[in-house]
Chain A
Amino acid sequence: MADVLSVGVNLEAFAQAIGAIQALRSSVSRVFDCLKDGMQNKETLEGREKAFIAHFQDHLHSVNRDLNELERLSNLVGKPSENHPLHNSGLLSLDPVQDKTPLYSQLLQAYKWSNKLQYHAGLASGLLNQQSLKRSANQMGVSAKRRPKAQPTTLVLPPQYVDDVISRIDRMFPEMSIHLSRPNGTSAMLLVTLGKVLKVIVVMRSLFIDRTIVKGYNENVYTEDGKLDIWSKSNYQVFQKVTDHATTALLHYQLPQMPDVVVRSFMTWLRSYIKLFQAPCQRCGKFLQDGLPPTWRDFRTLEAFHDTCRQ
């Protein structure tokens, strides 16, 4: 009710104000008419000037009066749009033909949406800033083009050295067997078989691990023409999840100066999956959560957690 009343009052003031504007316009045009007509025919020059000035003054006074009146009225009208959160666009809500032009409701939705977007973008950028990927952070802002130049030694290692490092790691873990092959030039591909639990395909560039795919022990890791299948993912959700975690581990274990340590730490971490189906979650104590066993292994303690149970 209050809204309707205030609108009514405003409307009355509006009508008066419009009248006042019309009066002001006509008095202003009278001033210009007077100026245009110039001095009227009078007998003496002095009489002509006096009459003209008197007229001109009269007209200016009436302009002044009309202007004051308009100012008074404009205060009465107030600024109804100011306390509306959407300012002038809030007046769209007064539009009586809602059905034909639903501008106002659309506007409100767009406003809400953009507000939410801004809020979420703020949160996301905060989180992302906290967890910058260490791989790029370690290179201290070197651009991708210049990266090979910055670390020539680690990318151009002799294949013999890579073989040595891998075979040493192979001997280190008895329950893990590593098969190295070089189907495409110098880059090595590893097929790691961990107990009777899983198989991992590791694609390397020199001693850097580029990509890993984790599959089940009973899944096929070769394509039809007998090559390692580095593109298709596992059919089982649990190994898809472990693949995701292994990719995270690649980004975590980074030490550009000592690539062999990185490979060894990664393999040590990977070995903890030997108890993928046997270890309960260290936080909730259960085996299953949403049908999946604890797929996450802590990078330092190697303890098992569900994806949602880790910090």
Chain B
Amino acid sequence: MGVTCVSQMPVAEGKSVQQTVELLTRKLELLGAEKQGTFCVDCETYHTAASTMGSQGQAGKLMYVMHNSEYPLSCFALFENGPCLIADANFDVLMVKLKGFFQNAKANKIETRGTRYQYCDFLVKVGTVTMGPSARGISVEVEYGPCVVASDCWNLLLEFLQSFLGSHNPGAPAVFGNRHDGVYGPADTMAQYMELFNKIRKQQQVVD
């Protein structure tokens, strides 16, 4: 896998989420990108159970369990700003067994679904972020396959993003700064999605 940048695309003024997604995909198709099926990234939130919290005297930490259709056999478990665990897909079953320690906050389940596009060595995924029944925002993921060091190709990625995002200018993802020369991995992508989902959840709370 190469370096990936996940960003949130603001909904165009006077347009619905669906219309903005269509606008984006049309731009991509005009650019010459080819449709390559669909993708899905989902995220479930787990609270540390009250019984364990008391004994250890910790503040309630949230754990996120995520799946990515790009890695269908894997499951990702992340803490905010913390480590990322990559496990086999039946990690979900284990989480059910750990009910006593981690409780699933079902209402917080959030996911993004959309179309996958290939343009040259770029992989672009434009998705609609949904929480429950309604659409909450738009996620844009761009992966540049040939490069493995994030800081090497950020300028190149930015130029590509600007070619179809128009005026919206995404900043460099925080994970790019973390490991300056390290090899980029799937966990970094999942961390970006986690941040994006958290941002969208907070926006939602403000609106409510």
Contact = CB atoms under 8 A, between A and B. Distances in A.
Given A237-B121, A278-B152, A218 B160 contact: no
A236 B147 CA distance: 10
Interface of A is mostly: loop
Interface in A234-248: 235-239
A135 B119 CA distance: 37
Interface string A255-291: 0000000000000000000000110100000111011
27 contacts: A196-B148, A196-B181, A197-B149, A197-B152, A216-B145, A217-B148, A218-B1, A236-B145, A237-B121, A238-B121, A238-B146, A239-B146, A277-B152, A278-B153, A280-B155, A287-B155, A287-B159, A288-B156, A288-B159, A288-B160, A288-B163, A291-B32, A291-B119, A291-B121, A291-B122, A292-B120, A292-B121
Interface in B76-99: none
Contacts of B1: 218
Contacts of A280: 155
B54 to A, nearest CB: 46
B146 A287 contact: no
Task: List the 4 closest pairs (A to B, CB-CB), nearest first.
Answer: A291-B120, A277-B153, A236-B146, A287-B156
Contacts, number: 57
Contacts of B53: none
B2 interface: yes
B73 interface: no
Nearest to A195: B149
Contact of A286 (B119, B144, B145, B159): B159
Interface in A51-110: none
Interface residues of A, number: 20
Contacts of A237: 120-121
A196 B156 contact: no
A162 B152 CA distance: 34
Given A196-B149, A291-B121, A293-B156, 8 more contacts: A196-B183, A197-B149, A216-B148, A236-B145, A238-B146, A278-B156, A288-B159, A288-B163
Contacts of A287: 155-156, 159-160
Interface of B: 1-2, 32, 119-122, 144-149, 152-153, 155-156, 159-160, 163, 181, 183
Contacts of A286: 159
Nearest to A291: B120
A293 B159 CA distance: 11
A286 B149 CA distance: 20
Interface string A204-247: 00000000000011100000000000000001111100000000
A288 B161 CA distance: 11
Interface string A281-311: 0000011101111000000000000000000
Contacts of B160: 287-288, 291
B67 to A, nearest CB: 23
Contacts of B159: 286-288
A221 to B, nearest CB: 14
B154 to A, nearest CB: 9
B80 to A, nearest CB: 28
A11 B39 CA distance: 77
Contacts of B156: 277-278, 287-288, 293
Nearest to B153: A277
Contacts of A288: 156, 159-160, 163
Contacts of A290: 120
Contacts of A197: 147, 149, 152
B34 to A, nearest CB: 11
Contacts of B147: 197, 277
A254 B133 CA distance: 67
B160 to A, nearest CB: 6
A106 B155 CA distance: 55
Nearest to B120: A291
